[in-house]
Amino acid sequence: MLSGDLVAVWEVALSEDVYMIEFAHGTTTGKRIVHINGKEVVRKDWMFKLVGQETFTVGSSNTKATIFIEAISGFTYEYTLEIDGKSLQKFTDDRSKVSKTWELKVDGEDCRVVLEKDTMDVWCNGQKMDTKGEFVDDGTETHFMLGEHECCIKAASSGKKRSGIVHYLLLDGEKVPAATQ
């Protein structure tokens, strides 16, 4: 955890995991410290310039992240996070269009399953899963195992032009509700 100079905390959901980004900014020394999930990734102890930006990567996908430090008035600062060159909100909105997430318990363990709709890659708790896809009468099925449990992500037409294709996860044949992203 960061010191008393902690000024911003963001949560960033990528396919492989959800990352907590914490930023400390010493407004007298210019010190900048970035932690991701509690691990220090950037430390600059003495900076003459109090405003500017810090760029680093997040996750195993090495997704580019930039924190912008701007003076608002006097010694008041605003901190914004961009992921892949987009505001966090736009990045999150775009992710929800190209991915679908389910959070479930399997054998007492929390599992976060993410489908990347563009590549049909499936991730579970940071691991890319071995999958087998097949075409069926009403769409596609992507099969994989979670431990001893059979999983299937079904993709089928919603029948509505605006919502397009709907994806749902079956665990041992039971439908799992989607996570609110």
The answer to whether residues 104 and 176 touch, using CB atoms and an 8 Å cutoff, is: yes
Based on the structure, what is the number of domains in the chain? 2
In a domain, 71, yes or no: yes
In a domain, 38, yes or no: yes
Quote the domain boundaries for residue 80.
6-84
Q: Which whole number is the average pLDDT over 88-116?
A: 93
Band (pLDDT 50/70/90 cuts) for residue 2 is low
pLDDT given at position 178: 85
Q: CATH number for the domain including 132?
A: 2.40.128.180
The answer to whether residues 120 and 133 touch, using CB atoms and an 8 Å cutoff, is: yes
pTM of the model: 0.82
Band (pLDDT 50/70/90 cuts) for residue 50 is confident
Residue ending a domain, among 53, 84, 115, is 84
Residues 75 and 18 occupy one common structural domain: yes
Q: Which whole number is the average pLDDT over 96-114?
A: 93
> CA angle, corner 154, sides to 92 and 107, nearest 5?
80
Beta bridge partners of residue 131, listed in sequence order? none
130, pLDDT greater than 60:
yes
Residues 57 and 103 occupy one common structural domain: no
